[in-house]
Every structure is written in C-alpha cells, then in structure tokens.
Structure 1
Amino acid sequence: MMIILLIVQFSSALASGSSANERVIQTPQNLHSQPREEAKIYCSHKIDDYNTILWYRQSDRGLQLLGYVYLKDGYPEAGLDGVKMKGNAEKNQNCTLTVEKANSSAVYFCAASYHSCDSGREAYFGTGTKLTVLEPNRTAIPPTVRVLKPSPNEGGQTRTLVCVATDFYPDHVSVSWTVNGNKRLSGVATDAAATRLDDFYRITSRLTVYVKEWQNRGKDFACVVDFFNGTETVNRIDSIRGVKGRLLFERKYLRIAQNAKLAYCAFIVKSCVYGAFVVFLLWKLQKSRKTEK
C-alpha cells in the first residue's frame, strides 16, 4: 500500500512540473558510454526532512519510474534489471544510480521527496543527465560553426544572423550568442534539438537585432556552441562584425531628397499661384483702362 501511495505521489509531483534546481543537485549533466558499459549518476538534495530519492528514465518510449531510495535502502521497480540504487536519501547525503550495461541513450532524472502515507508534499527534480550510448567504433567529434550574414533581401527594422553548427557527434550541444562579449538572450531562437544527417548532427540558431545595431562596425556578434566530448565541455565559436551603415546613409539621403522634392513642389505651386495673381491684376488693370475710355 505504501509503495502505491508513493508512486501516486511521485506521478502527481512530476505532472505539476515542480522544480528546485538549487535544492536538488544531479551530476553529471552529460554522460557518454560505450555499449554495454557501466554508467553512474549522482543525486543529493538540501531539503529538510525529505528522505526519498526517486529515479526516472525518459526515452522515446516515454517516462519510466525506475525505483527509489528510501533513507538508506534502494527499491528498484519489480522486474527491472540492469539498474542499481544505493546511498542515503536524507539531506546533504548522496545517492547513486548505476546503469550496469547501458544499451540505449536516454535522459535520467532524480527527484527528492518525502516518504509518508499521508504526505502531500511535492517532489523536486534535478536538471537531468543526458546519457548517450555511442555507436560501435565511434568517438565524439566537435562541431564546425559558421555565422551567416543577414539576407540582403530582408526588409523592415531588423536583421537576422544565422549560426549553423554541423558535422558533430553525438548531439550533446548547446548554443548561445554574445554581442561584444556580453551574452545576448533577447532575439535568440534555437532549434529545439539537433537534427541527424547521415552520420552526424546539425543545429541552427538565429539572432535578430535592430538594423542600427547591425550597421555598426564596432559590434561583434559571436555564436558559441558548447559541446561535451565525453570528458569535458569544449566550445567552438564563430563571429561576424557589423557592417558600415550604408543603408542608414541611403535612407537619410532619400529623406533629404524627398524633403527637397516636396519643397520644390511647394515652390512651384506658390510660383503658379503668384503668376496667376499677377495675371489677374494685369487683367483688372487693362479692363479698368477700357472702361475709362
């Protein structure tokens, strides 16, 4: 009965999307494994009274509860082979999930909870560990990164720079942008996941900036791609500088020309009105003289 209540509580907490990353510490964030090789994931928490760590595996087939550690005892799900859970689930202690013979890639999550029949407390989840089981005879290859200029046909008040990262394996990457060395968050749109093409992966990201910012040679726009190579996270960077503001100059020139054109038209209209008025006066004068005779 207690196990059923625990699973219901865990499922409810997961559905609520509860998260307190600063209170639940899960490491590593990325992990490579050779086929049938052992992989270990670690989890701890900083929550008073919480005494349970549960483990989940998320794959193409959905989210699966692997089991949990209550105090110092591990309880894998019935009929589940190939994983071990041990450690201490209390505050500031450590729990370990061991995948004994990894055979498929997945994302693993731990969560801290309070094990009690009448507990209504929610679970707090870690950030997840992405485990990739490498294909036979393959090693990690970092990406090639290139930043593309905005399209010359792009109109409006903004310009879009495109970052393309290609030819990497596996897909442990994250993409960010900097402008003059400062991280840029606004105007950034990155693919939700890398796309596989043949034996390698590809991912794109876009940075949208205002024309005024792009047309400034003092601006340096850099795309930073972080890649986990199995041992450490390395980065690959490409950058591009802003261009001379010819378009702004042209627009300013066009505005001046347009204003001059309007002024000239106004001058012509005024001249026509003045000419008509002079003709009218001459006609009146001539008519007046005829009347006198």
Structure 2
Amino acid sequence: MQRPDIKESSLEIKNLIEEDSGIYFSHIVLQSTRFMSVLPGDEVTLDCSMAAGVRMSSYIMYWYKQDHYGEPIQLIIKENDKPTQNYEAILNTNDNRFSLKVSKVTAQDSVTYYCAAGSQAIFGEGTKLTVLERDVKEPEVEILKPSGIETRCKKTITLVCVAEKFYPDHVSITWTLGDKEIKENVATDPYATQDKTTKLFSMTSRLKVSKKEFKPKNKYRCTVNFYNGTHDISDNTDEINGIEGISLDIN
C-alpha cells in the first residue's frame, strides 16, 4: 500500500484552519494528554497514537504547534526528519505510537502541540504545554447573580460563571442542572485571558436560562475542571438556585 503524504504549502495548511476549533481534527489521531506542565529547562515527551483498527504505518506522521488560539499552525517536524536543537520525532509503528521530544524547554515552548497524519492532515485534539513561570494556583469560581431588571424585563436569564486567579490556563468549564450536563445555550470564552503582572488567568462562561425554568427546585452549577500538573481537579464549583416569580431584587 502506498503511503499518502501531506501537502505542505502555506496556503494549503492555512486552509486547514477552522474558525471554530482552530484546526480540523478527527478522533482517528489520539492525544491522550490534554494538558502538561513542566519547569524551565526540563525535557518533555508528547505522545500520540491511532484509533483501534487504524495503523500508523499507513500514514506519514507530523507534529505541528499553534502559539495561540486562532493563529495559524506551524509544522515542526515529521517522521524520519533529523532532530533539531529542540525537537526530535520518534516513530514506533509496532506500538502504533508517534512521539515528540522537546528539550530544554523555555517559555516560548508554552504552546499547543498537534499530532497529524496523512495527506488530509488528520489532526489529534492537541496537547497544551505550559512551561511554568509561577506557582500553580487553583481557580476561584463564582456565578454572578442576574439583575432584577433582567428578570423583570426579559424572557431569559443569563447566568455568568467567572473563573479567575488561576495558573496555568489548563481549565474547562461545564454547566449542570442537577446531575445532568447542560450543553445548549452555553457560551464559553474560547481561551483564558492573562494578567501580565500577576501571570494569573481568568475565564467566563454564560448560560441562558428560560425565566419559567429559573425556579427554586432547579439548581444550576458551574464546574471549572483544572489540571494542576499531576491530575484533574473538579471541585472548583459554584451553584445557584432559581427563584420563583417574575422579579428578582438584588440589593
């Protein structure tokens, strides 16, 4: 079987960028680690594999990086390339695994790395690497109460969840009603913003709720899942119950 190759012109690579997710990706290429944190000067290895029944030997494999959300991706290295000063590609077709070794990391290596396969540039979902510049800090989470004007004059209520003062920006935000996750009418910032002085991040998520559903029996919870460098922490939460009636007085 002839192995397909990727088209590497800047125009063709640019056409792979999507406004929604930043790039086109598929569940064929698997990157099990979503976040990684390391100290300056460390060496780190990122791995990717293929979905069950898909052989890596059928593709030429690549590693890309994206400095910030929405920016173009950049080709770093492909299989069988000679190692550079910072990067080394390691292919193990027997184990269906392709790795990227990054040596002597600096703050400039704090980017998202994407593993990709084949002529159609099938991407994994990416691994965000942060070279730590300060101590890790968990997020503070608060749901802002809707204003009385909003509950009196509008048919829907917007709940705003604010996660702030965290580092690094290895977070995801989910809304739940009782034990059920809410996926509709949710708008979450595509990326966290950083205070240049403290290096701490903040991020918000908004949930629109029908006024008739905003009742005392319904408890809305915002959960900020945070990766602290060794494991995920999901107890950073705040919650709010609905209030009966068409008005809500906030003093």
- Please indicate the TM-score interval, normalised by the length of the shorter structure: 0.7 to 0.9
Task: Give the 5 Å matches for 1:125-274.
Answer: 125-135=123-133, 138-154=134-150, 155-197=153-195, 198-199=197-198, 200-214=200-214, 216-235=215-234, 236-245=236-245, 247=247
In the superposition, the TM-score normalised over structure 2's length comes to 0.82
Name the % identity: 35
Alignment of 1:88 with 2:98, yes or no, is: no
Quick check: 1:18–1:122 contact (8 Å CA) kept in 2?
Answer: no
Partner of residue 68 from structure 1, selected from 75, 78, 99: 78
Q: Deviations over 1:244-270 (max 9, x none)?
A: 22549xxxxxxxxxxxxxxxxxxxxxx
- Is 1:100 aligned to 2:109, yes or no? no
Query: Alpha-carbon deviation of 1:95?
Result: 1.4
Please state how far the C-alpha of 1:19 moved relative to its aligned partner.
2.6
Structure 2's unaligned 5+ residue stretches are 17-22
The count of corresponding residues between Structure 1 and Structure 2 is 226
Q: Deviations over 1:3-54 (max 9, x none)?
A: xx75538974673454321x21113110001011111100111435623210
CA distance in 2, matches of 1:195, 1:123: 29
Gap change, CA 1:190 and 1:126, over 3 Å in 2 = same
| Contact 2:63–2:114 under 8 Å retained in 1 | yes
Report SS of the residue matched to 1:212: helix
Q: Which has the higher helix share?
A: 1
Unpaired runs of 5+ in structure 1?
Answer: 114-120, 249-293
Q: Which moved more, 1:193-202 or 1:103-112?
A: 193-202
Shift of 1:195: 1.4
* Partner Cα distance (1:96, 1:146) in 2: 39
Contact 2:43 2:104 in 1 (8 A): yes
Cα root mean square deviation, aligned: 2.4
1:50 touches 1:112 (CA, 8 Å); kept in 2? no
In 2, Cα distance between equivalents of 1:97 and 1:64: 14
Structure 1 residues 211 and 25: alpha-carbon distance in aligned structure 2, compared to 1, 3 A threshold = same
Alignment correspondent of 1:277: none
Counterpart AA for 1:228: Y
Greater than 6 Å deviation, 4+ residue runs: none
1:162 Cα deviation from its structure 2 partner:
1.0
